Structure 1
Amino acid sequence: MDEWEELARTVPATLMQVGSGMEAVRKIQVAHRKIQGRAGLMRNIRFGMPAAIAMSLFDDPAPVGVCPTVTLEEARCEISRGAARHAMADHVFVRYVELLGIQHEPPCTSRDTHHREAIRFTAMALEKVREAASLAEAAKDAVDIAETLLPQPDLKTEWALAAQDLAERADYEATQALEFVKRARDVVALEFFDTWTILRRGRARSAEMKEWRELALKVPGTIMLIGDAELETLELIQAAVSKFQKHVELLQEVRHGTATATAVDNFTDPDPEGALPTELLENARRGMSKSAVRHAKAHHIFARYAAFLGIQGDEEYRSWDSKHQEAAGSMVAALKKVIDAVSDAEAAKDAVAMVGILPYQCPLWELWALRAQNQTSLSSFNATLAILDVRQAREAFFVEVLRAWLILRRYGSLQLLDDSASLWSSSTPA
C-alpha cells in the first residue's frame, strides 16, 4: 500500500506535464500555417498568379524550411508519448484507489469520466493529425503532377484545383487536431484537480488504515494471550470439579449412614485449605467473560482492517472468520455451563441445609438428600462439559492465530518473531 501511495503522489505531476505540454500544439500550429500558405498559393492561381510561380512557391511558403508532414509526424509522436504517460498514470491511480476501496465513490467516478474523455479527445486528435499529414502529402503530389502538365493548361488547372482542395481539407483537419488537443488538455486539467482531491482524501484514509493495521498486527498476540488465560480457567474449573466429586462422595456416605451433622459441616468445603467450588467457578466465569470481550474486540479490529483491504470475500478471511465464530461459540457454551454449574451447586447447598434440619432418614430427609446428591452430580457434569468447551475454544484460538498470521503475511503487514509461534504451540492442549 505504501508503495502504491508513493507512486500515486507522482500522478498529479505527470498529469500536469501531459496537460500543460505545448510542443504538440506548437508543431501542429507551424504545420497548419504552412498548409494554409500552400492552400493560399493554389487559390492565387484563380486570381491571376501564374501557375508556374505559384507551384514553385508551393514547396516552401512561410514558415520557410518547414515540411508540414514531418512536423505533423513529430506532433503525432508528442501526442502519443503524452497518451502513454497518461495511461501509466491512470494504471497507478486506479490501483491506488482500489487498495483504498473508494473506486466507486466520488470524486473517483468524476476522475474516471474525465480520464475517458481525455483518451477520446486524444484519439481524435491523433486521427486528425494523421489525416492532415496524409492530405498535405496528397496535395504535394497533386502539385508535382500539375507541374508536369504546364504545357496542358486545362489538365494543369484541374490538378491545381485538386491540390487546393486537398490543402484546404488538410487545413481543416489540422484545425480540428488543434481543437481536440486543446480539449484533451482541458479535460486532463480537470482530471488533475480530481486527482488532488482524491489524494487528500486518500492520505486521511491511508492514515486511518495504518492505525487499523497497527491494531491488526496485535490481534494474533492478543488471541494468544486469551488462549493462555484460558489455561487458568481450565485449572479453576478442574479444581471445582474435583471438589464437586468429593461432595458427591460425602453425600453418598450420608445416605448410607454417616452422621448428618458431620456431612453438613463438611459439605461447605471438604478441603478447608481451598476456596469453595462456586467461588472457583465464579472466578472462572469472570475470566472467561473478560476473554470473550477481548476476543470480540480483536475480531472487530481484524474485520475492520480486512474491510480496508477489501478482502472480506476472500477464502482466507472467511476461513479465519469461521474459526473465530467457532471459538466464540465454544466460549459462550462454556460460560453457560459454568453458570448452570454454579446454579446447581447453590441448589445442592440449599438441599444439604434441609438435610441438616429434617429428622434423620425420614421420607423428606431421603428426598432432600437424594436431591442434594443429584444437584451436586449435575454441577460436576456441567463443569466437566465446560472444560471440554474451553479446550475446544483454545484449539480454535490456535487455528485462528495461524490464519490471521497468513492473512497479515500475505498483505505484507506482519513481522513477528518465530519463537512466539513455538511458545503458543507449546501451550496448546493436546
Structure 2
Amino acid sequence: MADEWEELALTVPETLMQVGSGMEAVRKIQVAHRKIQERAAFVRNIRFGMPAATAMSLFDDPAPVGVCPTMTLEEARREISRGAVRHAMADHVFTRYTEHLGIQHEPPCTSRDTHYLDAIRITDKALVKISEAAWLAEAAKDAVDIAETFLPQTELKTEWALAAQDLAERADYEATQALEEVHNARHVIALEFFDAWTIVRRGRVRSAEIKEWRELALKAPGTLVLIGDAELKTLALIEAAASKFQKHVRLLREVRLGTPTATSVDNFADPDPEGVLATELLENARRGISKSAVRHAKTHHIFARYAASLGIQDDDEAYRSWDVKHQDAAGRMVAALKNVIDAVSDAEAAKDAVAMVGILPYQCPLWKSWALRAQNLTTFASVKAALAIIDVRQAREAFAMEFLRAWVILRRTGSLRLMDDSASLWSSSTPA
C-alpha cells in the first residue's frame, strides 16, 4: 500500500500543473468579459446622445457575434469546478502520502497545506464572482428587453436603459474580479506545485530509507529464533554446570562427615572424569548470553527505527506490547548474566577454600571452618546456576512472545509475506 500511495503522490505535481496552467476558463471569462464591456458601452452611449433604440439594438449581440456571455461564464464556472475537484483529489492523495511518511506536520508540508487552503478560498471567490457576473449580465439583458417595450424618447425607456447600464457595469466589475481571482488561484497553485515537488523528492528519499529499514526489520523474527536457539545451548551449558556443582556439594558434605580429604579434593576439580570444569561451562554460557544480548539489542534498534518510520510507536498497542516483551526478555538476560557471573565467582572462591582444606590438619578447627566455607560457597554457586537456568527459560519465553508481536506488526503493515506455517518457526525450536 505504501508503494501505491507513492505512485499516486508522484502524479500530484502534474495534476497541479494542469490545474494551475489551464487557460480555458480564463479564455472563456475574457471572452464573456469583453462582451459585457461592449454591452455596457453601448448602453452608456445613450447618455452621450446615441439614440436609445440604436444603442439597445447593438446591445443585443456585439462582437464576438453569437457568443452569449452568461453561457460562456457558465462554461468557465464548470471548467473551474472540474479543476477544483481534481485539486481536492490531489490534496487527499498527498495528505495520505505525507501521513504515511510521518512528515505531515513538517515544512514544506505545512506550507503546501496553507497554499492549498488559499487556493480553495480564492477559487471559491472566483466562482462566486463568475456567478454574480453572469446573473448581472442576464439582468442587464432583461432590463434592455423591458426598455425596448417603451416608446422612443420616453422617460421610462431612458430609466430602464440606465438600469441596464448599471447592471452591465456591475457585471463588468464582477467579471474583472473573477479574472483577478482566477489568476490569483493559479499563482497559489503554482506555489503549491513547487511545495509538492519538494515533498515528493524528499518523500522518495524517505521511502528509500523506510524500504531499507523494512528489509532489516524483516530479519527480526528470524533473528529472534536464532537467539532462542542460541539460548538453548546456553541453557544446556548452565544445566551441566549446575549438575557439577551439586556433585561438588555432595563431595564436600562427605569430606565433613569423614571421607578421606585427599580423595575428595582430587575429585572436586571435576567430578566427571575427563570432563570440563563447571566454571569453564559457565564462562562459555556467559559469552553466549552476552552475544545474544548484543544481537537482541540490535534487533530492537532496527525494529524500533522501522516502526518510527511508519509512525506506529508509543501510540500503537501492538508496538507497545512488542516493546514490553522485548524489555522483559532483555531484563531476564541481564539477570541470567549476573547469576552466571556470581556462580563463577562463588565457584572460584569455593575452589580456593577446598585448596585450604587440602593443606590443613584434618578435623582441626581451622580445617572445619574452611570445609564449611567451601561447602557453602559451592551451594551458593549451585543456587546461582539454578536461578540462571530459570532466567534463561523465562527469557526464551519472552523471546517467543516478542517474535509473535513482531510478526503481527510486520503482517499488519504489509511488510511480511510468510507461509501459513511461519509462526511454527519458534515452536519447532522450543522443546516441549
Q: TM-score, normalised by structure 2?
A: 0.98
Contact 2:52–2:152 (8 Å) recurs in 1: no
Query: In the aligned structure 1, how far is the partner of 2:306 from the partner of 2:259?
Result: 63
Q: Deviations over 1:356-403 (max 9, x none)?
A: 011101111111101111111111111111111111111111111111
Structure 2: 5+ residue stretches without partners:
none
Query: In the aligned structure 1, how far is the partner of 2:135 from the partner of 2:421?
Result: 72
1:370 maps to: 372
Query: In the aligned structure 2, how far is the partner of 1:311 from the partner of 1:273?
Result: 55
Contact 1:395–1:428 (8 Å) recurs in 2: no
Q: How does 1:347-386 map to 2 (within 5 A)?
A: 347-386=349-388
The 3-state SS of whatever aligns with 2:148 is: helix
The 3-state SS of whatever aligns with 2:105 is: coil
Query: In the aligned structure 1, how far is the partner of 2:431 from the partner of 2:106?
Result: 48
Query: In the aligned structure 1, how far is the partner of 2:194 from the partner of 2:99?
Result: 19
Query: In the aligned structure 2, how far is the partner of 1:360 from the partner of 1:294?
Result: 51
Query: In the aligned structure 2, how far is the partner of 1:423 from the partner of 1:153?
Result: 101
Offset, 1:151: 5.3
Query: In the aligned structure 1, how far is the partner of 2:180 from the partner of 2:141?
Result: 24
Contact 2:269–2:277 (8 Å) recurs in 1: yes
The 3-state SS of whatever aligns with 1:148 is: coil
2:342 maps to: 340
The 3-state SS of whatever aligns with 2:361 is: coil
1:288 maps to: 289
Query: In the aligned structure 2, how far is the partner of 1:143 from the partner of 1:420?
Result: 82
The 3-state SS of whatever aligns with 2:298 is: helix
2:138 maps to: 137
Q: How does 1:270-289 map to 2 (within 5 A)?
A: 270-289=271-290
Query: In the aligned structure 2, how far is the partner of 1:417 from the partner of 1:113?
Result: 46
Q: How does 1:18-417 map to 2 (within 5 A)?
A: 18-150=19-151, 153-312=154-313, 313-417=315-419
Q: Deviations over 1:338-371 (max 9, x none)?
A: 1111011011101101100111011111111011
Query: In the aligned structure 1, how far is the partner of 2:396 from the partner of 2:418?
Result: 21
Offset, 1:429: 4.7
Instruction: State percent identity of aligned pairs.
Output: 82
Contact 2:225–2:425 (8 Å) recurs in 1: no
Change (3 A) 1:296 1:419: same
Q: Deviations over 1:305-350 (max 9, x none)?
A: 0000001110010010011000111111110111111011011101
Paired residue type of 2:175: A
Contact 1:334–1:385 (8 Å) recurs in 2: yes
Contact 1:394–1:429 (8 Å) recurs in 2: no
The 3-state SS of whatever aligns with 1:78 is: helix
Offset, 1:195: 1.1
Query: In the aligned structure 1, how far is the partner of 2:211 from the partner of 2:139?
Result: 62
Paired residue type of 1:52: A
Offset, 1:136: 0.6
Which consecutive segments of 4 or more residues in structure 1 shift more than 4 A? none
Query: In the aligned structure 2, how far is the partner of 1:150 from the partner of 1:212?
Result: 86
Offset, 1:38: 0.7
Contact 1:391–1:429 (8 Å) recurs in 2: no
Aligned residues between the structures: 430
Query: In the aligned structure 1, how far is the partner of 2:72 from the partner of 2:39?
Result: 15
Q: Deviations over 1:189-236 (max 9, x none)?
A: 111111111111111111111000000000010011101110001100
Contact 1:69–1:136 (8 Å) recurs in 2: yes
Query: In the aligned structure 2, how far is the partner of 1:292 from the partner of 1:94?
Result: 40
Paired residue type of 1:284: A
Query: In the aligned structure 2, how far is the partner of 1:189 from the partner of 1:322?
Result: 48
Contact 1:236–1:284 (8 Å) recurs in 2: yes
Offset, 1:423: 3.4
Query: In the aligned structure 1, how far is the partner of 2:423 from the partner of 2:412?
Result: 17
Contact 2:133–2:175 (8 Å) recurs in 1: yes
Query: In the aligned structure 1, how far is the partner of 2:120 from the partner of 2:185?
Result: 8
Q: Deviations over 1:26-60 (max 9, x none)?
A: 00000000100110111011111111121122120
> RMSD of aligned C-alpha atoms?
1.0
Structure 1: 5+ residue stretches without partners:
none
The 3-state SS of whatever aligns with 1:203 is: helix
Query: In the aligned structure 2, how far is the partner of 1:92 from the partner of 1:25?
Result: 27
Q: Does 1:427 align with 2:429?
A: yes
Paired residue type of 1:343: S
Offset, 1:420: 3.8
Paired residue type of 1:21: G
Q: Deviations over 1:241-271 (max 9, x none)?
A: 1000000010011001111111111100011
Paired residue type of 2:149: T
2:14 maps to: 13
